[in-house]
Amino acid sequence: MNKTITGNVLGVLSILTVIISVALFLILRGPNADAYPIIIIFSILSVIGIILAILSAILSKRYILLTTGLLGNGAVLVFTYFLLFAMGIGEA
């Protein structure tokens, strides 16, 4: 495969991590859900998505995939931070 196709695949995988995070949020929510494993899963998925978006921009020179991947995964990472912050406030 050439660099453009590889970059496009990485960009789509970056957007796929956002979709997986949203799906996991909808599946794993509830009053008895343990929040700390969910926070770890969201953090790992968003960091992987950000890395894939950056690699996509380097390889394919298509910045729409970079922008979409960074905004989506950045939003998941901010949401995860606020969830962790709320868990810290709830314990105090």
Q: Is 6 helix (H, G, I), strand (E, B) or coil?
A: helix
Q: Are 14 and 69 in contact (CB under 8 A)?
A: yes
Which tens digit of pLDDT belongs to each residue from 33-92?
A: 888 888 899 999 999 999 999 999 998 888 888 899 999 999 999 999 998 898 888 776
In the chain, how many domains are there? 1
| Cα separation values, 92 from 3, 10, 38, 80, 88, Å | 50, 41, 20, 19, 7
∠ CA 43-24-90, rounded to 5°: 60
Q: Is pLDDT larger for residue 30 or for residue 38?
A: 38
Rounded mean pLDDT of 16-27? Answer: 93
Residues of the domain holding 42 = 3-91
> For the whole model, what pTM was predicted?
0.87
- Tokens 């790992």 belong to residue: 44
